A and B are shown apart, each in its own frame.
Chain A
Amino acid sequence: MTDPLAACRDVTRRFGDHLAVDRVSLAVQPGEIVGLLGANGAGKTTLLRMLLGLLPVTAGEVRLFGEPPSRTTRRRIGYVPQGLGLYDDLTPLENLRFSQAVFRSPLGALPADLARETLPVGRLPLGTQRRVAFAQALAHRPDLLILDEPTSGVGPLVRARLWDVLRDASDGGAGVLVTTHYMEEAEECDRLVIMADGRVVAEGKLSDILRGERVAVVDAPDWPGALTALEEKGMTPALVGRTLRVVGSSPAEVEQALAGRECTVREAPATLEERFVQIASVGVSGAS
């Protein structure tokens, strides 16, 4: 079996007393999109920075293309940081030219509308900026794409277009490691790694993560009262429209908690977001 494009084994990172990443292991194979999920502060960005060689590990091992991060491995990586890493005072084409000159790759295709753009990147809408960052990261045809919340702050249409770009890259054999907190994006990934408090709390395909998990769905005319009653019983109901969805409790338990109230309780498959909340709230003890 070939080496994974990116791998980390038992990687730990401390900042003083704070344990940011705790014995995390993951791997990204060619043609695979791996989604790294977690709340803010879960350790996703720290993990990416260690993978890229931007941050030394406190313990553990990081490998890119079978070797430690180095200038050689950088040639094969495309990176989109949270802040995009574009020069605000240069046009999209000038940004791309700089990147291609550094990577010594032929001038790749920039979407026509971006290539014609004469305004500096800093004066373009965020969605356009993100498209430029994607084009720049892909221009040298990297074997591994690492993206840190790449679609944050853009509308659904631009997000869909960016994901088309990622899917094309992975179809072409590139491995993709992407952090996100958008559940609809996570569903686009081939495999998910969920982090909480610096640790991996769940990992696998979407179906593995959901593993037939179901939620109790409550329809009640007096939904505020039902919500209060469920919370008083220590349950974690979520309000969707005027429907309450309760993760981690069976319909029988919910019916019992709402005894005497006018309501109907049924069961439905859990969404990824619900499963994520469940895993993250259970934390390390709930790791699969």
Chain B
Amino acid sequence: MWAMVVKEFRQLRRDKRTLAMMIVLPVMLLVIFGYAASFDVSKISALVIGPQAASYAKQLHSPFDPVRAVPGESVAQAKKDLQSGTVSIVFVADEHSIRALIDGADLFTARAAEAAIGRAASPRALLAQLLAAMPPGHVLLVPTASLPPKVQVLYNPGLKTDVVMVPGLAGVILVFIGTLIASLGVVRERQAGTLEQLAVMPLSPWDVLIGKIAPYFIVAALDLFIVLICGMLLFGVPMHGSVPLLMAGALLFLFVTLSIGVLISSVSQNQGQAIQLAMMTILPQILLSGLIFPLGSMAAGVRWIAYILPLTYFVEISRAVMLRGAPFADLLAPFGFLAALGAVSVTLATLRFRRLLSPSPLRARRAGARSLS
């Protein structure tokens, strides 16, 4: 086994492009995804029309920016502005009422606009305005039970997307790097004709499997460390929980990912097939792991697919440990499922390697017995 590990390391060291991809790409992906994969809308371009446009525009604050007041513009013209995308929201400020037209095609901006309007019109906001407008010395008695609760957001007080996304993105990057690169390992041996040589050497399937996984495991573990440090420094992702617990979850997840990669490699005849198969396992993980869309909002059938994807459990573990500071006792289920997926994938990979590397003795013996009988 050690001979395989050393050989794989030597080959990886010489394969500068793959090595660079394994080291540089994760950081690059984290920075790009981290900044791009945000559902936070910080600016909403607004147009205010109608007789009260000028005064209402002055009352609008963040996230409505820039705000343009055009009292003389008609509703029909304003709708055209929405249609062309020059503005995301139009306020129609009549003499006695205000209504807002929102571009629903731009989903996240529309939801942010709706939430901002809702906050501005909440009973607490109105009460604050009323209190500010009251002359000094006057008292206003309001039953507190009739007011909506005062909200305190824990673990991600700013409700920032990147804080929630970065821990999961570390998993996505590891899935990409681990599955894709590991999936090419055995195929390369097959195409170079060295798989046959391995098959006549006194190596066990386990030797070859671990030999194939070990170097990528070490480099990907280094990737994970770099990605998490960058995530904390660049995006201010907190680490409220135990670092060893997070690393244990990440290494378990990495083992599962690499085992799947090697399994893919062992069933592929060429590199094109391996990449296609790898992508078929990567894309569902990104879409269905709960990283982007909540598991609870998925249809039951699709949710079951999510439950057999390793990234689902890593996203759960990384968010729980980093953001909520969850202890191991709270994470028994995701750790258990990840371990089960690891056991299944490594067993399948070992069986496949057994078939690849020692295909015939048993069947040869049976055939021999038949011929002798």
Contact = CB atoms under 8 A, between A and B. Distances in A.
B192 A87 contact: yes
A61 B200 contact: no
Interface in B180-239: 192-194, 196-197, 199-204
A60 B200 contact: no
Interface string B2-42: 11101100110011000000000000000000000000000
Contacts of B368: 57, 60-63, 68
B371 A10 contact: yes
A77 B3 CA distance: 18
A204 interface: no
A70 B362 CA distance: 9
B201 A89 contact: no
B269 interface: no
A87 B200 contact: no
A68 B364 contact: yes
Interface residues of B, number: 32
B3 A101 contact: yes
A53 B2 contact: no
A83 B358 CA distance: 20
Nearest to A64: B361
A89 B371 contact: no
Given A59-B370, A120-B14, A102 B360 contact: no
A178 interface: no
Contact of A53 (B14, B360, B370): B360
A71 B206 CA distance: 13
A54 B196 contact: yes
A10 B370 CA distance: 12
B99 interface: no
Interface string A44-60: 00000010111111111
A98 B189 CA distance: 15
Contacts of A266: none
Task: Point out which of B199, B201, B204, B358 has the most chain A C-beta atoms below 10 A from its C-beta.
Answer: B201
A213 to B, nearest CB: 34
Contacts of B359: 53-56
A61 B199 contact: no
Interface of B: 2-4, 6-7, 10-11, 14-15, 192-194, 196-197, 199-204, 358-361, 363-365, 367-368, 370-372
Given A70-B358, A85-B197, 6 more contacts: A69-B360, A71-B204, A79-B197, A85-B194, A87-B194, A89-B15
Interface of A: 9-10, 50, 52-63, 68-72, 74-75, 77, 79, 81-90, 94, 97-99, 101-103, 120
